[in-house]
Structure 1
């Protein structure tokens, strides 16, 4: 390509710390010109991570508190397309650079604000919203996963920047979608509160289903229920947890002593593949195997190999046989054998090991950049990219910009436009995805007005836990058709759908893509304007030795270092506590790639392939640690089961009436000095200070400490929980008039659901445009509910539809009930 996908765009990046700079990084990696605006003296966050986030950007110092600096910023805005900032609400307005001032300078400007909490939230908006403050208030540290609950560990701290990662992905996609609608809607201001983005990203952890059938509960969930009902303590050890882990969803030890994580449940063929590659084919032949979509009353045995979880009768013997087999080979051999057999699994690695991993480097998931401060530096790679973007891997360090040179460009000029429609109105999407990450793409696009048709197989390949329970959120806002793509008639229906589509989404490897008939050359024949959005586990801008290996969220966690850090070491890895930690984020990152592809198509008229990968997003949630170079400081961030913070000034403490988070990472001792009960502690440090503060904080309620310690750069917030935030922000679908903008946290009770049960889900309110409409996606239909309607729309007659259904090329249902019981 002569030009990059976004090389026609100029971005002003006022971002600091993590979220704003991450948006700028995603855009510059797609070819945009990004100008980082620094205060006099340079950026406030002087850290190797910030140097990494600044790659490819040009830097310019402006004193925004001076008339000259403000005038220069407005002149630059007149010559730019996007402005990014992540100050507290009101800061840009006080500087004279609020959305209205920027739009006066440039009617087509798209501005993005990334505050910690919603600007309409009077209680939280003024807070110094450090990453952990957002996490604590939202509920990220409370009841962190089944392991921690069974061990009685609550709260738990994690240094992962989930809020900034989710917020950055929502922010990057929204500015690109808004740009595509500028001819209809004109300029736009968008707010993405990071707390709202975190709440959406963790939707599967606070989803609530009325009368949830016990068949979908894991052994750990059932043990939690048992202990709660019997009043038993939550006191399991890490070793005890092994008795409650599914054999196809856990870590084993290999001959070299390294952990090897298997996630091969729920997909019909995967458990049998695992047993075959381990040489346990005879064991597989003894295990029950029947339709997982039968109601439990019709099961011929207590569990099925096609359905998670394994039953209690066989769980122990399968795990023992698998552990014995794993001890016969080193992890490196098992990794290649499992990859070749299409059985999802990976060796456990630390973050440092991932940065040196041969596949990560070969594929471009990890990049090597010559940094002027740190020399040859390994960094997280592209988070979203287009397949044929020849410049995707050409990275440079930041460079200074000259103001006079920047102002030499012609101002963007156009008459003001003020439409209010959804950014993606009229966009037609064919969704071929399953489980969580892939379907997240379509459900996210639907809120912006896109029309989504979900195509799933006539005979389900995924059990109802993954396909239906998770699909309650992941397939919202879609029509559903069932097709057998192994039949020529089914492939013909798909070809008709693609011919009329703008976008096709799929989750799978290149080999799986090509087998579906969606290789780039074939797609160009079916529809040269169509954009394929493809995500997988290990794909990158280049091919690597693991590019065709299968994988899921937890495997990306294991491979990139998340599980080793969270568990506290290579001997005690734990999956990060929240379902879909990386899955949802990868779906959002794929939307960013689509936004770039739509921008390129708007200019060139051609489609292509837009990509994202689970492993790339596994690095994204570790962005503040995801770099290495000669002489780097140790990877010593907080890890393990019992950490509650990062030093005394960034820590969970128990007050007299409950847990709170205290954050004063820059004010530090100054924050203590003005509080009588704490002033004498200002000269202490380290562990002693943590213990002394814990003792003092225990004497007063959270509200007292919040009143006395919340300042310009410090905060105290009570530890929230996802469930409490869901309940506090719940509105009923049946009552209508659901508000998406006033609260930081909002959830919807779908009490008219076709399932016959209500389901509570997080509302789509992470992206808040000033002008454009946001649609609340309709509840997920029963699979196959619109098969006849979609076929008729494609021109099939009633007789032809009847023939397709009779031949099994199309279908209308997987089971008698929406959710098998």
Structure 2
């Protein structure tokens, strides 16, 4: 029995933020029904593919964040499909959508309407700037993507090299962090419903979530009135906490405690540095010269030698690429690489596993992503299928 095995989620989202949120729920056992627009999720066709784009049903982007879901293609602009959707709402626990504010109302499926059909419904939205129901602003209705959210939320301003331009964080944190927080909100709303029988609206905005992600910049500005900016891989208040070039790549070293600093100085045969800079304040005040001292040592050694010298006594690690991650036994032992079948390909596709680990109800990807409209009959039944097709044909 999975932790969320009794949960039915209607997922009207597409691309990344919404699908990642419902993917987390699906990995924990929820029955996630992906209600797709005519033609399906916009990123179904996005590469890469295992072998051949012509023969495979979808690319890696769609596979990764839609694994373990069921698919139903509906056009909410038509009466028949709208009625089919409302019938599903009556038996659902959660509805998740990431349209612009007001779009579901245009379909006649806004929160207030769905609440009439299911008073205990948890209705969740993911938008760039939130929903007026939880706080109205002049930005609502504007389009937003991960890049926009990272720029507005201050993440780009504090990411990158000191002498370089504002830099986007590699993974789409504007989408993924928002998605994770939305899943937390949904589960909190379910807990509230269990105590009160009361459904509610859950809303996470990408801009809001990036402000939350950059929380350190907020309190720094509050304390000293200066806007934090880029400083490479270093930390504003901890040293050493940085990346250092080795002879064959890069390593990171986090030796900011007095004990770790002393051990690092011993490992690099520089006990004088430990004696001259025994506390955090003295190290921060001389961080530039001390960084140069450590860097001079790391450049003359291979990554493996540096790590052996530190021998687990100082927090340190190599900077790995994805090939390194695939070769790391830890990643396999933790179930963080999962193979799922790829329709149209002879070989499976490897996707990231679930990072949430539980002793009794272990989350995991529950099979491949669905084909478009693959589960229509089991979700709606033959009668609904036939009536929906008749309406569609008459509309043509």
Instruction: Determine helix, strand or coil for the equivalent of 2:120.
Output: coil
Alpha carbons 1:28, 1:57 under 8 Å: kept? yes
1 CA distance for matches of 2:106 and 2:352?
Answer: 35
Alpha carbons 2:129, 2:208 under 8 Å: kept? yes
Equivalent residue for 1:378, pick from 335, 350, 364: 350
Equivalent residue for 1:248, pick from 240, 245, 253: 240
Alpha carbons 2:338, 2:365 under 8 Å: kept? no
Equivalent residue for 2:271, pick from 268, 273, 282: 282
Alignment of 1:99-138 (within 5 A): 99-120=111-132, 121-138=136-153
2 CA distance for matches of 1:129 and 1:363?
Answer: 34
Equivalent residue for 2:79, pick from 51, 67, 91: 67
Alignment of 1:553-632 (within 5 A): none
Query: How many pairs were matched up?
Result: 358
Q: Residues 644-679 of structure 1, C-alpha deviation per residue, up to 9 Å, x if partnerless?
A: xxxxxxxxxxxxxxxxxxxxxxxxxxxxxxxxxxxx
Quickly say closer, same or farther: Cα 1:117–1:322, change in 2 above 3 A: closer
Instruction: Say yes or no: does 1:260 pair with 2:251.
Output: yes
Instruction: Determine helix, strand or coil for the equivalent of 2:317.
Output: strand
Q: CA deviation at 1:354?
A: 2.9
Alpha carbons 2:64, 2:351 under 8 Å: kept? yes
Equivalent residue for 1:163, pick from 154, 174, 183: 174
Q: CA deviation at 1:154?
A: 4.1
Instruction: Say yes or no: does 1:147 pair with 2:161.
Output: yes
Instruction: Determine helix, strand or coil for the equivalent of 1:181.
Output: helix
Structure 1 segments (4+ residues) deviating >6 Å: 244-247
Alpha carbons 2:67, 2:365 under 8 Å: kept? no
Which residue in the other structure is 2:336 paired with? 365
Which one has a larger percent helix, Structure 1 or Structure 2? 2
Which residue in the other structure is 1:201 paired with? 213
Alpha carbons 1:167, 1:193 under 8 Å: kept? yes
Equivalent residue for 1:97, pick from 93, 102, 109: 109
Equivalent residue for 1:272, pick from 262, 276, 286: 262
Alpha carbons 1:29, 1:56 under 8 Å: kept? yes
Instruction: Determine helix, strand or coil for the equivalent of 1:147.
Output: coil
Which residue in the other structure is 1:550 paired with? none
Alignment of 1:211-226 (within 5 A): 212=224
Instruction: Determine helix, strand or coil for the equivalent of 2:116.
Output: helix
Alpha carbons 1:355, 1:379 under 8 Å: kept? no
Q: Residues 186-236 of structure 1, C-alpha deviation per residue, up to 9 Å, x if partnerless?
A: 1111111111111111121232456649xxx9xxx8xx9xxxxxxxxx9x9
Length-normalised TM-score, structure 1: 0.40
Quickly say closer, same or farther: Cα 1:211–1:403, change in 2 above 3 A: closer
Alignment of 1:518-533 (within 5 A): none
Length-normalised TM-score, structure 2: 0.79
1 CA distance for matches of 2:131 and 2:27?
Answer: 29
Alpha carbons 1:171, 1:192 under 8 Å: kept? yes
2 CA distance for matches of 1:205 and 1:11?
Answer: 36
Quickly say closer, same or farther: Cα 1:367–1:269, change in 2 above 3 A: farther
2 CA distance for matches of 1:162 and 1:140?
Answer: 9
Q: CA deviation at 1:124?
A: 1.6
Quickly say closer, same or farther: Cα 1:103–1:54, change in 2 above 3 A: same
Equivalent residue for 1:19, pick from 17, 20, 26: 17
Which residues of structure 1 form unaligned runs of 5+? 225-233, 290-303, 409-821
Q: CA RMSD in A?
A: 3.3
Alignment of 1:256-655 (within 5 A): 257-265=248-256, 267-276=257-266, 278-280=267-269, 282-283=271-272, 286-289=275-278, 304=279, 306-307=280-281, 309-312=283-286, 316=289, 319-320=292-293, 323-324=296-297, 327-328=300-301, 330-335=302-307, 338=310, 340-341=312-313, 343-372=314-343, 375-390=347-362, 392-393=363-364, 395-399=366-370, 401-407=374-380
2 CA distance for matches of 1:42 and 1:64?
Answer: 13
Alpha carbons 2:252, 2:317 under 8 Å: kept? yes
Which residue in the other structure is 2:3 paired with? 5
Quickly say closer, same or farther: Cα 1:317–1:90, change in 2 above 3 A: closer
Instruction: Determine helix, strand or coil for the equivalent of 2:38.
Output: coil
Instruction: Determine helix, strand or coil for the equivalent of 2:251.
Output: strand
Alpha carbons 1:144, 1:154 under 8 Å: kept? no
Which residues of structure 2 form unaligned runs of 5+? 47-59, 382-396
Which residue in the other structure is 2:29 paired with? 31
Which residue in the other structure is 2:53 paired with? none
